[in-house]
């Protein structure tokens, strides 16, 4: 089961994706990288004994991180355009 502090993994995934973006990874790959990081965190950290559960939680973490990344990008873009 997910604990409250496990949701901090979403912020970590967003930070890692931003780091890779800064290194030069093309933007079209960023959501896929977020999903891969989420699945890795789910399988190896959240549910190491249950791969299916880890993948499901990892998908949730990765999709949340990519959505958070996308939403924050749109907010920043709107502020810059004003």
pLDDT (tens digit, 9 = 90+) per residue, 24-64?
A: 999 888 889 999 999 999 999 999 999 999 999 999 999 89
State the pLDDT at residue 69: 61
Number of structural domains in the chain: 1
In angstroms, the first-to-last Cα distance of the chain is: 43
| Number of C-beta neighbours around residue 34 at 10 A | 26
Residue 4 within a domain: no
C-beta separation of 51 from 43 below 8 A: yes
Residue 43 within a domain: yes
Residue 40 within a domain: yes
- Smallest CA-to-CA distance from 62 within 9, 6, 23, 21 is with 9
| Number of C-beta neighbours around residue 22 at 10 A | 8
Residue 62 within a domain: yes
Residue 7 within a domain: no
Model pTM greater than 0.85? no
Residue 47 within a domain: yes
| Boundaries of domain holding 31 | 26-81
Tell me the torsion sign for CA atoms 39, 29, 67, 8: positive
Residue 77 within a domain: yes
């Amino acid at each position: 089961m997910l604990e409250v502090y496990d949701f901090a993994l979403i912020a970590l995934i967003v930070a890692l994706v931003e780091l890779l973006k800064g290194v030069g990874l093309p933007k079209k790959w960023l959501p896929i990288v977020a999903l891969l990081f989420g699945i890795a965190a789910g399988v190896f950290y959240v549910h190491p004994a249950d791969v299916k559960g880890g993948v499901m939680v990892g998908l949730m973490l990765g999709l949340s991180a990519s959505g958070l990344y996308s939403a924050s990008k749109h907010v920043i873009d709107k502020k810059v355009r004003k």
